[in-house]
Every structure is written in C-alpha cells, then in structure tokens.
Structure 1
Amino acid sequence: MGKGNILIADDDAAIRTVLNQALARAGYVPRATGNAAALWRWISQGEGDLVITDVLMPDENAFDLIPRVKKLRPDLPIIVMSAQNTFMTAITAAERGAYEYLPKPFDLNELVAVVGRALAEPRRKAQRLAVDSNDGLPLIGRCAAMQDIYRVLARLTQTDLTVMITGESGTGKELVARALHEYGKRRNGPFVAINMAAIPRELIESELFGHEKGAFTGAQSRHIGRFEQSEGGTLFLDEIGDMPMEAQTRLLRVLQEGEYTTVGGRTPIRTNVRIIAATNRDLRQQIDQGLFREDLFYRLNVVPLRLPPLRERLEDIPDLVRHFLGIAEKEGLPPKAFEPSAIERMKHYQWPGNVRELENLVRRLSAIYAQDTVTQEMVDSELSSATRITFSEAAEQQGDLSESVERFLSDYFMSFGQELPPPGLYPRVLRKIELPLITAALAATRGNQIRAADLLGLNRNTLRKKMRDLGIKVVRSPGL
C-alpha cells in the first residue's frame, strides 16, 4: 500500500505525467485529471489524502473550488500550483485555506517534500483571510526570490510574530510591512510607521512612548507616542539600526513585558501592538561595535525576511515598468510604452537605488519626453551610462586601486632611504584614503549625511566624528 493517495488536477498533460511519475517513485498512489469537475467528484466521494491542483482549469478556477472542498472535507490538505506567480496568488491561496502555494515552474523534489510534510502534520483547519483578492498590492515580481517572499508573507499574515525586514534602501521594506498589516488579522487597526533616521536622537523616546507635560524643557502638554497611536495594530520601526541605546533598552522592556511608561510618567501602560522592524544595516556588525543590543536583536529577529536588491531580480524589470507606467498614467502623466531594447538596456544597469530608483526613472521618462514610445537612447540619456561604472568593471578595477596604494607605500618607504618613517604610519595612510572617500560619498549624496552614512556602511555618528577629525565641512544642497 502506498504512503497516501494523491489527487492531481492540471489541464497540462505533460505536468500530470511528470507529477504521476515523481509521486509514484516516492511511494504515493497518484490519480490525475485535467478538469475541476472530476476532481470535485473524487473529493466528494471521499477519495484522496491530499490534493495538488492548478489554479486555472478549463471548467473552473481552483480558488472557487477550494472553499467547497474545505467545507466538505476541512482536513484535506490542498497544494496549489500556478503560473500566475504574483503576491496576490500566494495571498489568495492562503485565504482559501491551501496548505501550500508553489509557483510554476517548480522543483519536483520540493513538491514531493511538501507532500510529505502535509501528510505528516496533524490535521488542522486553515485560517481564513478576509481580503479582496482583486485588491492588489504593488509587490511585483516573478523571480524565485520574490516567490519565496510571497509564500513567507502569506504564512505570516495571520500571526503576530515579530518580523525583521532587511534590505538595501529602495527595496520596498515599508511596502512589505504594510502588506503584512493590510492582509493580516490586525488590518482593522492602525498602521503606524516611524523612521529612526529621520528623528533627532534625543526625541526618539518621546516619539515612541510619548511624554507627560513638563517631562522636559519644551514639553508644554502631554504627547501621545507611536505605541499608543498604533494600539491594536502594527508599529513599523524603520531604520532600527539608528535607534539610540537608551531607546533600545526601553523597547526591549516593551517586547519582554508588554508594557511601557511615557517619558516623565510612572504608571506602566499595557500595549497590544505587532512590531515589524526594518534596516539596511548589518546589525550583527553593529552589535560587535557596541551600537546595538544583542538581546534586542534576537527579540526583533524572530522571523528574518531579506528583500533582494533589484540587481538580483533584473528579470522583474518588465513587470515593474508596466506597473509604474500604470501608476504614472493614473496620476495624469501621458501613457507610454517601452521598446524592447529600452527594457533590455535597463536590465544591464545595476540600480544602486533599487526599485525606488526604477520608479523614479519611469516617472521621469513619462513626464519629460513627448514621444509615446520610450527608446533605448532616452533610457541611456537618463541613466548617464557613459559616466557610470558597472559592478563588474568596478571589481576589475579593485586590483588597480590596490596596486596604486602599494606603489604609493613603496615610494613612501624609499623616500626615507635606510631609515623608517616616523611612527603613526597607519593613521596617516588611513586619513589619505578616508578623506577622498568620505568627500566623494558626501558629494554623491549632495551633502546628505544620512544617505552618505548608508552609502559608506557607517553609523551616522561615526561619519560625523570622522568628518570632524578630517576637517570635512559640507553645505546641503537646497531642497535636500
């Protein structure tokens, strides 16, 4: 006797054959059909220990069939397959009560493993999400990395687990946080976001926890903090790596005890808030530097979720461009189309500003060019490709930089003949490298120290100290 009877529904005969063979080899007894009617007949007759079904079938959409199946046989696990690899497909699969969602093409070994887990786990009723499957979110992409994110998000929406979202600036961390809230059980509560890097460090505790009248100079009245504002909902702590140590200690108490006190207050306040944190920094490195509490990191990093930079998902650019063109048109900009060579040119750019940079480019091209079709030349002009160095070119030039430093040091030592240079060589050489490096970063960000610190991978306070030590002074460009 096999390990379980598996019902398969897919209108593609080749997929049915492949699944039949793979499941039979794994010891299961498969039975396949090309339509939803036969699948429903088998299920209603009590057949099958597990169902594998495609979403789109000739006679019925599986998402319409699944609720009837769950009502008749609530403990029957259902694995959904789809070539429509979008965030909403994953969410709708979870909403309808599917055990798992697998985007096509899928790995056969992974599918067999999922079947094994589904049959081994105790039967449980799937939680339902009350969402409108037509109300899409701009989480766009069909690459493998985005499919993994969709599946994780679909699982997390019905939990209150604390999530740590990591990724470079512009990858969509707040967008993911909003998706977790809007499609979760706290969706009827508020979503409150606070960016640690955008608030003066001395005011962060007051912004988070509120303050009482007279708590400090200038506290003319009681101030409601973000925790109180987000009660019953979700609090998104963006750029958590910029949180000062004192505020970290208070936040740790909230996560441990479920309560806090306002600045200047004495009465503990119970809180019911889901925490989602995000950072573009390496928090483990900050822990080593004594800038971030290790115990707080583990409290926040319950479920880590890494968002890939756009350069790791270049195949998603056509979908993203179409999406941003649609938004631009809704905002009143003229409709545009991109010629294939323009899209191809964009796939060969490294996108240091990630999806945000791509969105800005699409808006700019929609606004400043009168032509209906965006050409490769227009894209080239906007990207200023002639003055940019690709990552591969930069990697090739790393050896040249090392050789230049080596030649400089060799000449420097030779200038002293048989003698050694004066003590303190390391800080002197380091200063010669740091000065142009930090100056260039500040110039590239037009004097924005927060962005320059992110670009350099430094803490903002570390950058300011280095600027003081090196005598670097900048004036911010107007409007930045």
Structure 2
Amino acid sequence: MSATGAILVVDDDPAICVVVGEALRRQGHKVKTASSIKERGALLESFAPDVLITDVMLPDGDGLDGVAEILERKPDLSVIVLSAQNTLNTAIRATEKGAFEYLPKPFDLNELARAVGDALGTGKAQEGEDGATGLPHDGLPLVGRSPAMQEVYRTIARVLSNDLSILVLGESGTGKELVAEAIHSLGQRRTKPFVAINMAAIPRELIEAELFGYEKGAFTGAQARTAGKFEQAQGGTLFLDEIGDMPMEAQTRLLRVLQSGEVTTVGGSKPVRVNVRIIAATNKDLPKLIEENRFRQDLYYRLNVVPIALPALRERREDVILLARHFLDRAALEGLPRKALSDDAAQLLMAYHWPGNVRELQNLMQRLAVLSRENVIAADVLRNSLPLDMVPADHAAPADQLGQAVREWAKRQLGIGIGQPNRALHDDLLALVEPILLQETLASVDGNQIRAAGLLGINRNTLRKKLTDYGLDPLQLRVAE
C-alpha cells in the first residue's frame, strides 16, 4: 500500500487545482487548494501539509518568495514548484529557494505523482510493483503534456461541478470515451453508474429499445421488461458514442427525453423519471449533417452545450513518446514483458503520421512488447516486425522535423535570453536558416539568379542584396558537373 500524506496545491488556475487535487485524492492523499500567497500562508498553519505544490505566478506575488522562510520554519515540508515560465532562470531560483522538485508547465500528472511520492520519502510510492504509475486510470485517464491536451484538461476541470451536456469531438482513436470517463470519475456523479452506448454498433431497429428499454412482448424475443441505458445510468453518466450515426427517428425521441427528463419503454405507456448527465461524442461533422438533413439542429444545440475538441495525435507529437512509454508500462502491468524504447525507435514514432491516433499507438506498443526479443526496442524491430508504413525518420515529415527543430531552438534561446530583452530572436533565426535556403536554391538552378528568385518568390534585386548581406558568392553555388 502506498504511503499517503497531506498535500497543499496553490495555483490561481481553478482547473489545475481541481484536476491535480482530485487526482491526488484518488491516490489516497488529503488535499487542500489555495489560489494566492495569502491563502497559502493560512493553510500552511491550519492544514500543516507534508507537501506544498505551488505555482510561481500568483495574483498577489511571486510564489517563490517566502519559500526559503517557510522551509526554515517547517524543515520537514517538501516544496514542488510549478511554473509556466519554463526557463533555466526559474529552475535555478526554485532550487536556490530549497524546492524539492521543479516541474515546468504544461506538466504530466504522472510526473507530479512521482514527485509527490519522492517528496513523501516513498520513492515509487505512486507506482505499481513493476514501476508503472496507476495515476492515469485511477485519477485522470488521459496522458499528455502538450498545450492542446492541457486545454482539454482545463475544460474538463470546469465542467466537473455542473451537469451541463458535453459534446466530445475528434477523430477515431483520439480517446473520446476516456474524456467521458474522466469527467464522470472526477465529477460529482462518480459514485453512480457510468454507462456507454455506441450508436454505430447497434442495428437501427434496436436503438430505441437499447436506450429506453422495452416491455415484455414489445417485440419478438422480448421475454421480460428490460431497462434501457437511461435507466441503467440513473444518477450517473450516459455516454452516447458515435452520436452522428444515430437515425433521425431515434434522434427525435432522444430529444424528447432530454427535454422532459422522462423515458417511456418500447411497448410501455408509463414514463419513468431519469436523472443522468449526457456526454455525447462523434467523429462526424455535425453541422454538415444538419445541412444534409441527417442530424437534428435542435438536438445538436441540446448536446453541444460544452464542446471538447480532442486533437489528433499528429497534432500533438510532443506527447507521442510519453504515451508510448505509458502504454509499455501498462503492458508490463498486464503481464507482458517490460520493454523500453531506443532513441532511434523514438524518432521513428515521432515521424509517423498516426492515422489511427492514440488507439493505434496503444496497439502498436502492445505488439512490440510481445514481438521485440530485446528489452530495448530498436528501430529495425519497429520497421521490420510490424505491418505499418513506418517511414525512416530522416525521410519522413520534413515540415514536422523542421518545426520541432525551430521549437527546440526557440526554447533554448528564450531560456538563455533572460535579462536580455533586445536579443532580436527573429533576426537570429533568419540568419541561421535563410543562407541555407539561398544556397540550396541557387545550387538547384546552377547559380541562375533569375530562376532562384522565382523559386523563392522574391525579386532579383532582393536576392542580390541578401547574397551580399550574407557574403554568398552565386558563382560558387553551382551544382558540380
């Protein structure tokens, strides 16, 4: 059994307080939250936490101010610092103040759980026997630290304390049902049932019976009264997956139920009052279906009170390796051999376009856990053992690779550039990449400046000036014969 403690979470973003607080509570910790330095000070005395998790930017000051003094008074307290100022300077300040750990935002809940376990002196207290954290499915069943996923987390946190209808949008395999499970398991209905139904998997003639139930003798094979999904979810959450595949006639009756809060079984006459939260999901373009008269507009508005758009995996590539390792850990917990990824294999995963999204990655990691003979999965295993069009990283997704390289360069320069507000990073980046572009373009046309200018989309005089500025000789930029 993992050791638990008292945790104080201080952040002025209510979403972070809710998600972090609920996830840690589900790990068995006692958690209180605050949104300011003033509230933090009061709770440090009245709550006496074992671990303080504090943001840096708070409404009434710098969250790092006073940390050293707090630790002098409470030497057994461990401080974990969170900050959106992902700079070297912030990390150094946190360390100098005596912080136990520093986590830049956006952070992953698994990392925070490990940091809390370490701060409590339990090492891998939040992990299973094989070292894989149980937080994603015991707390928030989603993994990712990308900005896109952080926005999803914030939206989830904002709807936990209400019963507004939610429409989860996203491609197949992006994790729409996991979002629904997270909202239910962290929300005020978590002690009641979570019931899911996939509209695309049910024959049209049986959808109403599945949703609303049926009476004995209502149709051939109806041997006894059977409760539908609405009644089964009484007091809890009903997840309507693939809502875009629901037939129009069933949509009409569903709308009536949502408006009245009552269901009438197929073959029945007495309505039954139901109290459920509705979460719907689809990978379809519902506004387009409305234009084609295939989806009711009034039902769309009823369901789409709070939309949550899940990004495709190719749109959050920074989460690919984090997810891959998470799925390998889960596979090990399920009895499969424990595996790790080589750097080359990780690069291949980053280069792949993931048409099947997170579900495809999960299935891939499970297969690799079985197929790879070595403890470390190599790139050749990824290429040769799987029926996937895995393009070598050095030839795949050049735009993505360039974007990632620019992003990493910018992060480094911004970290180095603290205290130097007039560094002109835009000019620095152009000085790095523009000469290369000019050289390669001129070489491709054997030094012909007119053709090069046309390919670059600039006039010849501009090209000449740039060549002069960078000290490039067009006569030397010819393809060797």
Common fold by TM > 0.5 = yes
Match for 1:346 among 332, 345, 349?
Answer: 349
1:298 aligns to 2:301 (yes or no): yes
Paired residue secondary structure (2:192) = coil
- The 1:379–1:161 alpha-carbon spacing in structure 2 relative to 1, beyond 3 Å, is same
Match for 2:238 among 214, 235, 240?
Answer: 235
Match for 1:86 among 108, 115, 132?
Answer: 108
- The 1:391–1:86 alpha-carbon spacing in structure 2 relative to 1, beyond 3 Å, is closer
- The 1:6–1:266 alpha-carbon spacing in structure 2 relative to 1, beyond 3 Å, is closer
Quote how far apart the aligned CAs of 1:61 are: 8.5
- The 1:201–1:40 alpha-carbon spacing in structure 2 relative to 1, beyond 3 Å, is farther
Corresponding residue pairs, total: 310
Paired residue secondary structure (1:357) = helix
Q: Which moved further from structure 2: 82-91 or 243-252? A: 82-91
Instruction: Tell me which residue corresponds to 1:384.
Output: 389
Quote how far apart the aligned CAs of 1:86 are: 2.7
> What root-mean-square deviation, in Å, do the aligned CA atoms of Structure 1 and Structure 2 show?
3.7
Q: Which moved further from structure 2: 248-257 or 275-284? A: 248-257
Instruction: Tell me which residue corresponds to 2:358.
Output: 355
Instruction: Tell me which residue corresponds to 2:436.
Output: none
- The 1:263–1:390 alpha-carbon spacing in structure 2 relative to 1, beyond 3 Å, is farther
Q: Is the 8 A contact 1:164 1:305 kept in 2?
A: yes
Q: Is the 8 A contact 2:141 2:179 kept in 1?
A: no
Counterpart-to-counterpart distance in 1, 2:149 and 2:306: 16
Instruction: Tell me which residue corresponds to 1:160.
Output: 163
Quote how far apart the aligned CAs of 1:278 are: 0.3
Q: Name the structure, 1 or 2, with higher relative contact order (CA <8 Å, separation 6+).
A: 2
Instruction: Tell me which residue corresponds to 1:105.
Output: none
1:189 aligns to 2:211 (yes or no): no
1:201 aligns to 2:204 (yes or no): yes
Match for 1:259 among 250, 253, 262?
Answer: 262
- The 1:180–1:221 alpha-carbon spacing in structure 2 relative to 1, beyond 3 Å, is same
Paired residue secondary structure (1:385) = coil
Instruction: Tell me which residue corresponds to 2:338.
Output: 335
Quote how far apart the aligned CAs of 1:218 are: 2.5
Counterpart-to-counterpart distance in 2, 1:295 and 1:240: 14
Q: Percent identity?
A: 52
Quote how far apart the aligned CAs of 1:6 are: 7.3
- 1:47-88 superposed Cα distances (whole Å, 9 cap, x missing partner): xxxxxx8488866889xxxxxxxxxxxxxxxxxx95362357
Counterpart-to-counterpart distance in 1, 2:339 and 2:316: 23
Quote how far apart the aligned CAs of 1:392 are: 8.7
- 2:145 aligned partner, one-letter code: R
Quote how far apart the aligned CAs of 1:214 are: 1.6
- 1:292 aligned partner, one-letter code: F
Quote how far apart the aligned CAs of 1:157 are: 1.5
- 1:183-234 superposed Cα distances (whole Å, 9 cap, x missing partner): 1100000000000011101000000000111212332221110001000100
Q: Is the 8 A contact 1:90 1:151 kept in 2?
A: no
Quote how far apart the aligned CAs of 1:369 are: 1.9
Match for 2:145 among 142, 161, 165?
Answer: 142
- 1:320-342 superposed Cα distances (whole Å, 9 cap, x missing partner): 01110111111111111111111
1:272 aligns to 2:294 (yes or no): no
Counterpart-to-counterpart distance in 2, 1:162 and 1:365: 39
Paired residue secondary structure (1:237) = strand
- The 1:89–1:182 alpha-carbon spacing in structure 2 relative to 1, beyond 3 Å, is farther
- 1:250-307 superposed Cα distances (whole Å, 9 cap, x missing partner): 1111111111211111111111000000001011111111111000000000000010
Counterpart-to-counterpart distance in 2, 1:59 and 1:303: 42
Quote how far apart the aligned CAs of 1:357 are: 0.3
1:429-440 paired onto structure 2 within 5 Å: none
Instruction: Tell me which residue corresponds to 1:414.
Output: none
Runs of 5+ in structure 2 lacking a partner? 1-34, 41-54, 73-80, 84-93, 114-134, 400-481
Q: Is the 8 A contact 1:208 1:227 kept in 2?
A: yes
Quote how far apart the aligned CAs of 1:181 are: 0.4
Instruction: Tell me which residue corresponds to 1:320.
Output: 323
- 2:105 aligned partner, one-letter code: A
Match for 2:373 among 366, 370, 373?
Answer: 370
Quote how far apart the aligned CAs of 1:35 are: 4.3
